[in-house]
Homo-oligomer: A and B are copies of this chain.
């Protein structure tokens, strides 16, 4: 898995082949097939691994007594995870390998991450009059962050760092202000 992660991030989706993976792991392709069944199986494991790593990043968050500021920092961690692991994030949230489509139960892989986010949203909704249910808000925030991060990675969000950052904070401020009545 370590070799797979490094190969994926180094060579991208198109360079990620069973043969090179086997070679870099100093073994042969059938060994890969024995362990993972499919190439899709390798991708699936990367998918899970990605959510584990993301969860690890989020654990670095230390809560303060300002729930909203904590939520903003949480979303910034989410953003930097996607920025630091662009290919892995694609595997998690997009379908770069056209024959890996996570089943409904596998989508639950992110449940630990989702719970973490919902909890931090709930800290906000508890201390004030926020609009909507905490789960709904979490979905909205995650979709927004992923949309922004996808645009940023595709260099579609702006040409200079400052314009990109400005749009990120505009988006986050606006949505949180709009949510917090």
Which A residues form the contact surface with B (CB < 8 A)? Answer: 12-14, 90, 93-96, 98-99, 104, 107, 131-132, 136-137, 139-140, 142-148, 150-151, 154-158, 163, 166-167, 170-171, 173-179
Contact residue among B14, B140, B157, B176 (Cβ-Cβ distance under 8 Å from A139) = B157
For residue A12, which residues in chain B have a CB less than 8 angstroms away from its CB? 98
Report whether B143 and A151 are in contact in the complex, using a CB–CB cutoff of 8 Å: yes
For residue A13, which residues in chain B have a CB less than 8 angstroms away from its CB? 95, 98
Say how many copies of this protein the assembly contains: 2
Q: A147-B145, A147-B150 are in contact. Are A171 and B140 (CB under 8 A)?
A: yes
Q: A104-B155, A140-B174, A175-B174 are in contact. Are A150 and B96 (CB under 8 A)?
A: no
Report whether B151 and A150 are in contact in the complex, using a CB–CB cutoff of 8 Å: no
For residue A150, which residues in chain B have a CB less than 8 angstroms away from its CB? 93-94, 143, 146-147, 150
Q: Can you name 14 A-B residue pairings with CB atoms under 8 Å?
A: A93-B154, A104-B155, A131-B174, A136-B163, A140-B148, A140-B171, A143-B150, A143-B151, A143-B171, A150-B150, A174-B174, A175-B178, A177-B178, A178-B179
Report whether B157 and A151 are in contact in the complex, using a CB–CB cutoff of 8 Å: no
